[in-house]
Structure 1
Amino acid sequence: MTTRDEPVAFEADGDRLNVHDTVMDATCTFTASGPLDPVRVSADRFLFPVDAAVSVETDELTLPAHAGLHVRSEAGDVVASVPGERKSFARGVYYVEVALGCKLYLKVFDAAFTLRGEPSDGPAPTTVEFEETARVAVGARSLHERPAATITVPDEPSALREALPYLASSVKEWSCERSWPTLRGHPPRLERGDALDIPDALSKPETGVTIAVPETYAALYTVAPLAYYLGADVVPATDPELHLDNGYSEAFAQHGESLADATRTLLRHCLFLDSLVRVGGYYTMERQEYEAVAGDLPFYPPKLYDATIPEQLMEYLEVEAELLAPYLPMHRYEATLRAEPADAELLPFLLDDFVPVRVSGARRANASDALYSAYSTDPIPEGATKLSVAGFEHALDAPPRSAASERIALLGVGDGVMDALDAVFIGHGDGSSYEAATIDRARPTVAAVEDALSSGYGFVHVEAPITDDGIECVDGVLDPATLDDVSVGIASVVGPLSEAGAALDVLVERGATMGIASASITSRALGHVLGRLLSGAPFAQSVRWADHDDAYRFAGDVVTCPIVREDGSTLPEHVFRSTAPDSHQVWIRAWWGFGGDNGTVVGLVSEHVVHPQRLAGTILEQPASLSSEEVADLIEERDSVYVLNGDPIQHDRALTPADVRASARRALADSTSPETHE
Structure 2
Amino acid sequence: MTADGGFESTVARVLEQVFLMDCVTRTEGYYTVDLHERNVVEDAVDLDFEALYDQPTAAQVRTYLSIPFEDIEDAVPRWKLTADVVPKPEHAETLPFLANDLAKIRTQTETDIESRSVHDGLATVEDFFGPSSESSRSTLIRSTRASQSGSSGPFEEHVFRPPESDSIEQAYVGDGVPIRASKLTTEAFMRRLRYQPSEDTRTSVIVVSNEEEMADENVVSEIYGTREWLDFDITIRHELTTDEMEDVLATDADFFHYIGHVDEEGIRCSDGWLDARTLEEVNVSAFLLNACKSYEQGRALAEKGSIGGIVTVADLLNKTATDLGKMLAHLLDGGFSLFSALELLERKSIVGNHYLIVGDGNAQIVESQAGSPYLAKVDYTDEGMSVSLQFYPSKNYGIGSMVTPKLGTTVKRYLSGNESEPHLLTEDRAEFFMDHGFPVEVSGSIYWSEDYPFK
TM over 0.5: yes
Change over 3 Å in CA distance of 1:478–1:523 after alignment to 2: same
Change over 3 Å in CA distance of 1:263–1:535 after alignment to 2: same
Change over 3 Å in CA distance of 1:397–1:619 after alignment to 2: farther
Equivalent in the alignment of 2:160: none
Equivalent in the alignment of 2:150: none
| Contact in 1 for aligned 2:373/2:394 (Cα 8 Å) | yes
Equivalent in the alignment of 1:375: 172
Deviation at 1:390, TM superposition (A): 1.0
Equivalent in the alignment of 1:528: 327
Deviations 1:440-485 (A, max 9, x none): 2221421122112110122213334333332232312222222121
Deviations 1:237-294 (A, max 9, x none): xxxxxxxxxxxxx5xxx22322221111100110110011111233332211112222
Please tell me the residue identity of whatever aligns with 1:320. P
What is the root-mean-square deviation in Å for CA atoms of aligned residues? 3.2
Equivalent in the alignment of 1:107: none
Equivalent in the alignment of 2:445: 647
Please tell me the residue identity of whatever aligns with 2:375. E
Report the Cα distance in structure 1 between the residues aligned to 2:209 and 2:323, rounded to whole angstroms: 15
Equivalent in the alignment of 1:449: 245
Equivalent in the alignment of 1:492: 288
| Contact in 1 for aligned 2:282/2:304 (Cα 8 Å) | yes
Equivalent in the alignment of 1:482: 278
Matched, 1:557 2:360: yes
Tell me which of 300, 305, 310 is aligned to 1:511: 305
| Contact in 2 for aligned 1:278/1:302 (Cα 8 Å) | no
| RCO comparison, higher one (Cα < 8 Å, 6+) | 2
Query: Alignment partner of 1:357: what SS?
Result: strand
Report the Cα distance in structure 2 between the residues aligned to 1:651 and 1:577, rounded to whole angstroms: 15
Equivalent in the alignment of 2:129: none
Report the Cα distance in structure 2 between the residues aligned to 1:651 and 1:266, rounded to whole angstroms: 37
Tell me which of 462, 468, 477 is aligned to 2:258: 462
Matched, 1:616 2:419: no
Report the Cα distance in structure 2 between the residues aligned to 1:423 and 1:645, rounded to whole angstroms: 25
Question: Identity across aligned pairs (percent)?
Answer: 20
1:202-601 alignment runs, 5 A limit = 254-361=2-109, 368-398=165-195, 405-412=203-210, 414-417=214-217, 419=219, 427=227, 431-432=228-229, 436-497=232-293, 500-518=294-312, 519-520=315-316, 522-545=321-344, 547=348, 549=351, 551-565=354-368, 569-578=371-380, 580=381, 583-601=384-402
Deviation at 1:420, TM superposition (A): 5.8
Report the Cα distance in structure 2 between the residues aligned to 1:652 and 1:285, rounded to whole angstroms: 32
Deviations 1:210-238 (A, max 9, x none): xxxxxxxxxxxxxxxxxxxxxxxxxxxxx
Change over 3 Å in CA distance of 1:417–1:433 after alignment to 2: farther
Equivalent in the alignment of 1:137: none
| Contact in 2 for aligned 1:574/1:643 (Cα 8 Å) | yes
Query: Alignment partner of 1:415: what SS?
Result: helix
Report the Cα distance in structure 2 between the residues aligned to 1:559 and 1:381, rounded to whole angstroms: 17
Change over 3 Å in CA distance of 1:299–1:582 after alignment to 2: closer
Q: Which has the higher strand share?
A: 1
| Contact in 1 for aligned 2:378/2:385 (Cα 8 Å) | yes
| Contact in 2 for aligned 1:588/1:619 (Cα 8 Å) | yes
Query: Alignment partner of 2:31: what SS?
Result: coil
TM-score by length of 1: 0.53
Query: Alignment partner of 1:335: what SS?
Result: strand
Deviations 1:19-52 (A, max 9, x none): xxxxxxxxxxxxxxxxxxxxxxxxxxxxxxxxxx
Please tell me the residue identity of whatever aligns with 1:373. Q
Report the Cα distance in structure 1 between the residues aligned to 2:206 and 2:447, rounded to whole angstroms: 24
Query: Alignment partner of 2:26: what SS?
Result: helix
| Contact in 1 for aligned 2:334/2:437 (Cα 8 Å) | no
Change over 3 Å in CA distance of 1:455–1:636 after alignment to 2: closer
Report the Cα distance in structure 2 between the residues aligned to 1:377 and 1:268, rounded to whole angstroms: 25
Deviation at 1:563, TM superposition (A): 1.1
Deviation at 1:342, TM superposition (A): 1.7
Query: Alignment partner of 2:396: what SS?
Result: coil
Change over 3 Å in CA distance of 1:610–1:320 after alignment to 2: farther
Report the Cα distance in structure 2 between the residues aligned to 1:438 and 1:633, rounded to whole angstroms: 28
Please tell me the residue identity of whatever aligns with 1:534. D
Equivalent in the alignment of 2:155: none
Query: Alignment partner of 2:47: what SS?
Result: coil
Deviation at 1:297, TM superposition (A): 2.0
| Contact in 2 for aligned 1:416/1:524 (Cα 8 Å) | no
Report the Cα distance in structure 2 between the residues aligned to 1:478 and 1:418, rounded to whole angstroms: 21
Query: Alignment partner of 2:421: what SS?
Result: strand
Query: Alignment partner of 2:91: what SS?
Result: helix
Change over 3 Å in CA distance of 1:425–1:642 after alignment to 2: farther
Q: Which runs of 5+ in 2 are unaligned?
A: 114-162
Please tell me the residue identity of whatever aligns with 2:38. Y
Report the Cα distance in structure 1 between the residues aligned to 2:449 and 2:376, rounded to whole angstroms: 14
| Contact in 2 for aligned 1:327/1:619 (Cα 8 Å) | no
Query: Alignment partner of 1:272: what SS?
Result: helix
Q: Which runs of 5+ in 1 are unaligned?
A: 1-249, 658-678
